[in-house]
Amino acid sequence: MKTKPSTPVVLYWHRTDLRLHDSPALHSALRLNPSIFIPIWTWDPHYVYRARVGPNRWNFLLQCQNDLSASYTKLNPKQKLWVVREAPHTVLPKLWKRWAVTHLVFEKDTDAYARERDETVMELAKEAGVQVIVEMGRNLFDPDEVVKRNGGKPTMSMSQIEKAVGGINSGRPGGVVETPERVPDPWDQERMDLSAVEQEGVDSTGDVNREYRMKEDAQYVKIMGPGEDFGVPTLDEIGIGSAQVSTPHKGGETEALRILEGCIQDEEYVGRFEKPKTSPAAFQPQSTTLLSPHLHFGSLSVRKFWWDVQGVLEDRAKRKKPNASIPTNLPGQLLFRDMYFAAQAAIGHAFSRTYGNKIVRFIDWHLQSTDIATSGKKQPGEKTYTVDSEEAEIWFHRWKEGRTGFPWIDALMRQLKQEGWIHHLGRHSVACFLTRGGCYVSWERGAEVFQEWLIDHEEACNIGNWMWLSCTAFFAQFYRCYSPVAFGKKWDPEGELVRHYVPELAKFDKKYIYEPWKAPIADQKKWGCRVTGDGSQSESDGMKAYPKPMFDFDERRQTCLDSMKHAYDVGLHGDDARVKDGSWREDFEGDENELGNDVEYIS
């Protein structure tokens, strides 16, 4: 029987920290002076089959993992990122035993699923006699500590988050820790080998990403991967073809640090940056840093980002050069991120939905999630939402596919699907249009699409922003709507974004680029595109086709405003008893959105 060594054997569990620089958890792991060090990633079936992830985000993740693995190998030719193909709560106890692990170290994660997962793992570690070390590094400030300093309540405004973090090191995050210059060896090849370890079966039933799999996936054929080398999975193993990846944005710590360095060198950009003044129509390059996906995967430390920016701001202040201020400057944007994380940490799983969520105003949206639409009735199994209005269902799909007939909206949605990213004001436009400013469709439907397509999807931020933009939490001025015509004209009068992402309209005169349905038919023919139909046909009369608007925006905006006002007057929230027992329907009788008995359930 193998005995545990007298010096530490450290299993370092990477999750939201795919980097070597400024990693407090990695720093703590190496300070143990381990005789054996094994950095792993557990390929968790929960994220593979239960979380919506499109090809672009899969590709970004794999790039981050490959870059990190190569960085480990540069420090020690015997090292890499060791990817194990099994759920963490079942595989980690096997690894502790096989590799005689004395310490498990990882970065703290306050996402609802992650918190439950980690609590389970820590209990198992305690039973196995493995010491666990957890360090915060995903946020500027520990979300749990922020909640504590906010009176145990979710942070719902910038003033609340500023006040809460003001009591933590005077509102300044912890200092950046050094990047390791070396890492110890793993076990020898024979001891690392897991071929004799029994692999837990994986249940892929209900795979929410099955539409992207062009072939049967091979992610879990062997515990060490198909090559039995602990290799980072390939797109092919996931069942995704390389042609399905369309984003130009690259993942990895190397790329993240390159982008950050370029930003920091432009001190005028850093000093004068104000998010609302950056253009949502800018592309190649975009008007913001595009570091958000690197923050999500941890290929960039949010603390390093903050301190590098702060260094520029303080230097400019000494030279009496003007700086933008919180909340619109870069540190302010990072604080918004912490605000959403703390709100999520205080609420848990309910944060991601309306039902049972105490901070969310209840609105009688179309296409409600089944827990709302069938509240007080029998739940329809795995179905996720109800189709109470065929018209709203059509609008939702036309919105998702970028064929609403409003070029500004369609350009942004096509950019999102192609690249996995759009500017935050672009997100404002399409979110307002889907919810309170046009379609009156539940924000949860939009959040699901963003979860699937965004490469920078962060559960707390995505949900928080959808609540904000639908005026169900964080923001209440529902009467302020984004026009799908005027807003685009303001930022891009020539229509360059539309011409790029809606190429069928590329030759239209700028007078009609945002309202192509107003162009004379003779001009439409001259420019090679007819405005007709619903977008289901790409051609008409031998030329390209672009759809007519799917509704009169001014009429729909007024209908939405009237409905929002009524919902606000009713004053229900997601955790109210009337929402849970279904009697909320009585408050909306006669309303156009009242759900009847004949509804279709959509998976």
Tens of pLDDT, residue by residue over 3-49, are: 556 799 999 999 999 999 999 999 999 999 999 999 999 999 999 99
Torsion sign, CA atoms 71, 250, 301, 44: negative
Q: In whole angstroms, what is the distance from residue 314 CA to residue 195 CA?
A: 55
Report the residue count for the chain.
603
For the chain, residues classed under CATH 1.10.579.10 are: 393-503
Q: CA–CA distance from 319 to each of 169, 315, 322, 323, 539 (Å)?
A: 26, 7, 9, 11, 60
Say whether 290 counts as a known binding-site residue. Answer: yes
CATH architecture of residue range(s) 1-138: 3-Layer(aba) Sandwich (3.40)
Q: In whole angstroms, what is the distance from residue 570 CA to residue 499 CA?
A: 43
Q: CA–CA distance from 253 to each of 42, 61, 296, 423 (Å)?
A: 19, 11, 12, 22
Q: In whole angstroms, what is the distance from residue 470 CA to residue 344 CA?
A: 17
Query: Across-strand partners of 529?
Result: 544
pLDDT value at position 596?
Answer: 39
pLDDT tens column, 531-587: 999 988 888 888 999 999 999 999 999 999 999 999 999 999 999 999 999 999 999
For the chain, residues classed under CATH 3.40.50.620 are: 1-138
DSSP per residue, 332-355: HHHHHHHHHHHHHHHHGGGGGSST
Say whether 291 counts as a known binding-site residue. Answer: yes
Question: Is the pLDDT confidence value at 458 over 70?
Answer: yes
Question: Where does the pLDDT of residue 597 fall: very low under 50, low under 70, confident under 90, or very high at 90 and above?
Answer: very low
pLDDT tens column, 500-511: 999 999 999 999
Say whether 260 counts as a known binding-site residue. Answer: no
Q: Are 115 and 20 in contact (CB under 8 A)?
A: no
- Classify 253-347 by CATH class: mainly alpha
State pTM to two decimals: 0.95
Counting Cβ atoms within 10 Å, is residue 213 exposed (0-12), middle (13-18) or buried (19+)?
A: middle
pLDDT value at position 373?
Answer: 72
Say whether 559 counts as a known binding-site residue. Answer: no
Query: Across-strand partners of 73?
Result: none
pLDDT value at position 372?
Answer: 82
pLDDT value at position 371?
Answer: 86
Average pLDDT over residues 452-457: 98
pLDDT value at position 480?
Answer: 93
Q: CA–CA distance from 8 to each of 34, 38, 104 (Å)?
A: 5, 11, 10
Residue 354: which of 313, 395, 320, 385 has the closest Cα? 385
Say whether 289 counts as a known binding-site residue. Answer: yes
- Tokens for 23, please give them: 């990693």
pLDDT value at position 390?
Answer: 96
3-state secondary structure of 326: coil
Q: In whole angstroms, what is the distance from residue 343 CA to residue 474 CA?
A: 10
Q: In whole angstroms, what is the distance from residue 283 CA to residue 457 CA?
A: 20
Residue in this structure with the two tokens 């590799």, named with its chain if needed: 99
Average pLDDT over residues 371-376: 74
pLDDT value at position 595?
Answer: 40
pLDDT tens column, 106-116: 999 999 999 99
For the chain, residues classed under CATH 1.25.40.80 are: 253-347
**Residue 220 vs residue 374, higher pLDDT:** 220
Q: In whole angstroms, what is the distance from residue 302 CA to residue 292 CA?
A: 9
- The CATH topology of domain 393-503 is DNA Cyclobutane Dipyrimidine Photolyase, subunit A; domain 3 (1.10.579)
